[in-house]
Chains A and B, each alone.
Chain A
Amino acid sequence: EVQLLESGGGLVQPGGSLRLSCAASGFVFSSYVMTWVRQAPGKGLEWVAAISESGDSTYFADSVKGRLTISRDNSKNTLSLQMNSLRIEDTAVYFCAKGRGSGWYVPIDYWGQGTLVTVSS
């Protein structure tokens, strides 16, 4: 059974940093593109970032480019999101998600339950 378990969310001040983690199990982690998607309170889904199977290629939404970094450790089946220079508008539930099938151009077939990041003074 595929499981994605996010951790690391919490309250942080504007300008601060936070690191999210996602522990994956139930599938061959190194064979799939992994993605972070966020959802601000009461709002829709926003695609944030994705990383290739090997970790050598990444994509980011313009809204987070230069502030958020996505990485993975295939030896530990872990996905991470380093969040720097946080803004109030980064407040959201952050979902870890797995691509369906190999390669970049696939939909998401499994989602974690999400971890809440609140940016507030």
Chain B
Amino acid sequence: EIVLTQSPGTLSLSPGERATLSCRAGPRISSSYLAWYQQKPGQPPRLLIYGTSNRATGIPDRFSGSESGTDFTLTISRLEPEDSAVYYCQQCGSSPFTFGPGTKVEIK
């Protein structure tokens, strides 16, 4: 089973700041199979990024994804109040198609 580890657990930033969220896979996975989701309280998750760096339909360009070695990164370039949510990474390359534990982003 592929285990995804996300850091930090919680990120508290001000509007306009840059948020950097990390997801590490063990064992290593192909960049084709890493996705990011945003979930707000009481709502289902929403697909943000697939294939490491491809934005899903309707996702603002302040959201971007990248890879460096075994680490995957979700960057929110200029935080807005509505970005307050929990962000999950998921690998879809090998069953079970596991999720990371999530990073909570709080807007000050």
Give the B-binding residues of A (Cβ under 8 A). 35, 37, 44-47, 50, 59-62, 95, 100, 104-109, 111-114
Contact (Cβ within 8 A) B44 A44:
no
Contact (Cβ within 8 A) A50 B97:
yes
Contact (Cβ within 8 A) B44 A105:
no
A45-B102, A47-B98, A104-B95 given as contacts; is B44 within 8 A of A95 (CB)?
Answer: yes
Contact (Cβ within 8 A) A105 B90:
no
Contact (Cβ within 8 A) B44 A106:
no
**How far apart are the CA atoms of A109 and B47 in the complex, in Å?**
6
Q: Which residues of B contact A35 (CB under 8 A)?
A: 97
Contact (Cβ within 8 A) A46 B99:
yes
B-side interface residues, number (CB < 8 Å): 25
**How far apart are the CA atoms of A121 and B33 in the complex, in Å?**
40
The residue in chain A whose Cβ has the minimal distance to the Cβ of B44 is A111
**How far apart are the CA atoms of A49 and B8 in the complex, in Å?**
28
The residue in chain B whose Cβ has the minimal distance to the Cβ of A96 is B44
A45-B102, A114-B44 given as contacts; is B92 within 8 A of A105 (CB)?
Answer: yes
**How far apart are the CA atoms of A61 and B96 in the complex, in Å?**
6
Q: Which residues of A contact B101 (CB under 8 A)?
A: 44
Q: Which residues of A contact B95 (CB under 8 A)?
A: 50, 59, 104
Tell me whether B88 is interfacial, beta carbon within 8 Å. yes
5 A-B contact pairs sorted by A residue (CB < 8 Å): A44-B86, A44-B99, A104-B95, A109-B50, A114-B44
Tell me whether B1 is interfacial, beta carbon within 8 Å. yes
**How far apart are the CA atoms of A107 and B65 in the complex, in Å?**
15
